[in-house]
Structure 1
């Protein structure tokens, strides 16, 4: 078994209307139910945190897979917007929906689509969701 490249701990208290705090204190946020779920919406929520993590991680996957290519994608050459939703599933529980809108600078559409396809294979969030959540990918260039 390989050793972890990175590990973190985040402690949650009070569920969706509580708070989260990372072991190093860098993440320390109140949580609130969004208005569409009957809450005040005056703080972040787990879906926003998941969307932020997935967007940032996927952007880094794009940068990573082009690192040794002639056309490298730099930090400012990729933008990812993650849309995360929650919906009821057939079993009476809940499921997440995810869409990633990826914009890549400096390459043509065909290259951008190939890069995103490869990034989707290496991104840890993509690997964690594969088989559980259908992730809709859209790609454009700038």
Structure 2
């Protein structure tokens, strides 16, 4: 017979997952404190000390006082990072096919390139 019954295994797993959930919640609150742009430095320091010194009371107080805006701050940061990534990708990719064709048409209209050069450039842009 086992010295550790099945119910004890279940309760140990339950406590372990609750502990992991608690750690995740405390980290989320601390990240939100520093993400918050409407708090000054002293307010951030105060909330952080409160959450670290009295974790249960600090986290619950923070969730009651400022929890309604946590999602909005996180969504704003995710959107800003997405816009930065899209801008970086657009810059890294360079001009699109339509832009390059428009430049070729403009050069041809100004007389900077001949019809044959225009056709070669157009073929090259469309092949890429």
Normalising to structure 1: TM-score of the pair? 0.28
Structure in which a larger fraction of residues adopt helix: 2
Structure in which a larger fraction of residues adopt strand: 1
Bigger radius of gyration among the two: 2
Normalising to structure 2: TM-score of the pair? 0.31
